[in-house]
Amino acid sequence: MKLVLNNIEDIYESENLVRLFFPGVNFKEDDGDYAVFSKSGNEVLAKVCYKGKVAEIKRNASDFWETFAVLFSALSDVTGRDIPWGMLTGVRPIKLVLDLINKGFSKKEVLKTLETKYKLSPQKARLSYLTALSEKKILSETDEKSISIYAGIPFCPTRCNYCSFVCEGVEKHRDLVPKYVSLLSEEIKLSAEIARNLGYKVETIYVGGGTPTVLSEDELYMLLSSINSAFDKSCLKEFTVEAGRPDTITEGKLSVLKDMGVGRISINPQTLNDDILKDIGRHHTVKQFYDSFLLADKMKFFDINIDLIAGLPKESDASFENTINETVKLSPANITLHTLTLKRSADMYLEKDLYETYQKVSARVLWADEYIMGNGYSPYYLYRQKNTIGGLENTGFSLPNKEGLYNVFIMDESQSILACGAGASSKAVGKGGKIVRSFNYKYPLEYIRGFSDIIERKKKFQKELNLSLQTE
């Protein structure tokens, strides 16, 4: 398809808008299809030709959204395609919805704005609104003196072949783990000192990954006791460990988590279909998921989150519905429904025209949202990632009062975070919303080798945090 822009400065945005309708499109290929997008003064013209059919729209526009709505409408007319998130391409759509609510927009006005100005489907507008309401309540119960703590374990039993996170298979890198855990404990100690020096209240602690339960019982004990002895937990509302892979969970490790005061864990099958689990390289079975879930559930100590992914290759409607049905039957505190993100290294779909696949996945996600909500769950956080099938979202659903607070804080970006470990990024959020970030090295070996730099960066970051408490 040829894309011709006249007097339009936003090349990247224009290309992305066309890609929403034609996923995987090659702008260098001359196959007869074209889109012309031009502006003269306030007058905007979009003319799109697709398979010989032409749509042409000309109208006045006074801002970015009105201008792009002209191209969006022409693309929509000529293809007849539905784009669930409309023109919104950002990864945090709920921030925009919260902004409208905070400006005093009524529910009706919010939905209308989302559907007409940003072109969201009515279902995504409703999902966003419900999520924003839940976030608003959680955010109203925190303040600028609260902080969250993150500790990352970038190791996994093996690497799943769809994964878009930084982690190392422990088979090859087992020798790094003891040193890593001991340095991580040092960084945690320094972070606790910083939090104390600045008078922060620690509100949530999140140990994520990777797969923290890939650690041995002793290593887990060491890590969690270093967290417990470093931080003042008197204001702590939530302590999460992302157990994740069912093949790493044992009764002994769960007892360590319980004894250390962890109240929230994730146990993730991604799908309840053994053939697909094999295909995506998860190296565990559906039975192992049930066994570990029931083991943890029996202890009656944990709120359990279950991560699922929609859009895995070879998933049929029936197999996806079975996964959702069976997950809901377990009544976990949270269900997080992701949509498959296709990074270059993990391009599992090779079709040229991806739109048909996207439509199927989109319909499944819509069905799942309704089914999960119809069974007593509400959406409480939502985000999007680049390169996700159909531009779809990841949504966290929760039973009443079981929301994972850390997930909301990280998505809303309104709370400072002290993050430790390889790949971790700390965030100082000023009163006016200005954010300063500090990044650690990405991979465990770099982290170990460059640990003195990590400590220096953290000390500098204390100054940023201090400033953020004072500046508007």
Which residues of this chain interact with ligand SAM, rule CB under 6 A?
A: 156, 162-165, 209-211, 242, 244-245, 268, 270, 307, 309, 338, 340-341
Secondary structure letter of residue 54 according to DSSP:
E
106 touches 144 (CB < 8 A): no
Concatenated DSSP letters for 144-182? TTEEEEEEEE-EESS--TT--S--EEHHHHGGGHHHHHH
The H or E element that residue 49 is part of is strand 43-50
One of 237, 245, 338, 458 touching ligand SF4 (CB under 6 A): 245
Q: Which is nearer to ligand SF4, 75 or 177 (CB)?
A: 177
CB of 456 to ligand SF4, least distance (A): 28
* Among 120, 75, 26, 82, CA closest to 356: 82
Distance of CA 360 to the CA centre of its chain: 21
Q: Which is nearer to ligand SAM, 14 or 394 (CB)?
A: 394
One of 76, 131, 211, 327 touching ligand SF4 (CB under 6 A): 211
Q: Which is nearer to ligand SF4, 125 or 267 (CB)?
A: 267
* Among 460, 371, 369, 410, CA closest to 208: 410
Secondary structure letter of residue 238 according to DSSP:
E
Rounded Cα distance between 214 and 177, Å, is 10
Per partner kind, with CB cut-offs from 5 to 8 A, the member of ligand SF4, ligand SAM, none near residue 79 is none
Rounded Cα distance between 231 and 239, Å, is 12
The letter for the amino acid at 407 is N
CB of 207 to ligand SAM, least distance (A): 11
Q: Which is nearer to ligand SAM, 227 or 312 (CB)?
A: 312
Per partner kind, with CB cut-offs from 5 to 8 A, the member of ligand SF4, ligand SAM, none near residue 426 is none
CB of 400 to ligand SAM, least distance (A): 23
One of 86, 210, 332, 390 touching ligand SF4 (CB under 6 A): 210
For residues 355-374, which are near ligand SF4 according to CB under 6 A? none
CB of 181 to ligand SF4, least distance (A): 17
Q: Which residue has the tokens 């007097």?
A: 7
Secondary structure letter of residue 200 according to DSSP:
P
Q: Which is nearer to ligand SF4, 162 or 397 (CB)?
A: 162
One of 95, 159, 179, 201 touching ligand SF4 (CB under 6 A): 159
Q: Which stretch binds ligand SF4 (CB under 6 A): 154-162, 198-206, 331-339, 376-384?
A: 154-162
One of 44, 160, 194, 342 touching ligand SF4 (CB under 6 A): 160
Q: Which is nearer to ligand SF4, 209 or 390 (CB)?
A: 209
Per partner kind, with CB cut-offs from 5 to 8 A, the member of ligand SF4, ligand SAM, none near residue 159 is ligand SF4
Peptide linkage before 80 cis (omega within 30 of 0): no
CB of 307 to ligand SAM, least distance (A): 3
CB of 179 to ligand SAM, least distance (A): 21
Rounded Cα distance between 115 and 130, Å, is 15
Residue 167 binds to ligand SF4 (criterion: CB under 6 A)? yes
CB of 211 to ligand SF4, least distance (A): 5
Residue 151 binds to ligand SF4 (criterion: CB under 6 A)? no
Residue 323 binds to ligand SF4 (criterion: CB under 6 A)? no
Instruction: Please give the size of the binding site for ligand SF4, defined by CB under 6 A.
Output: 11
Q: Which is nearer to ligand SF4, 119 or 284 (CB)?
A: 284
Per partner kind, with CB cut-offs from 5 to 8 A, the member of ligand SF4, ligand SAM, none near residue 423 is none
Residues 6+ apart with CB under 8 A from 16: 89
Q: Which is nearer to ligand SF4, 307 or 403 (CB)?
A: 307
One of 27, 64, 165, 439 touching ligand SF4 (CB under 6 A): 165
Cα–Cα–Cα angle for 269, 367, 287, rounded to 5 degrees: 20
Rounded Cα distance between 290 and 73, Å, is 47
Rounded Cα distance between 467 and 462, Å, is 9
Rounded Cα distance between 340 and 390, Å, is 10
Secondary structure of the chain: what % helix, strand, coil (to 5)?
45, 20, 30
* Among 57, 144, 132, CA closest to 102: 132
Rounded Cα distance between 193 and 189, Å, is 6
Per partner kind, with CB cut-offs from 5 to 8 A, the member of ligand SAM, ligand SF4, none near residue 280 is none
Q: How many CA atoms lie within 13 A of 15 on its CB side?
A: 9
* Among 169, 140, 137, 176, CA closest to 155: 169
Q: Which is nearer to ligand SF4, 212 or 430 (CB)?
A: 212
Residue 311 binds to ligand SF4 (criterion: CB under 6 A)? no
CB of 445 to ligand SAM, least distance (A): 19
Rounded Cα distance between 412 and 355, Å, is 31
CB of 264 to ligand SF4, least distance (A): 17
Rounded Cα distance between 310 and 389, Å, is 9
Kindly list the residues in this chain that would bind ligand SF4 in the complex (CB under 6 A). Answer: 156, 159-160, 163, 165, 167, 209-211, 244-245
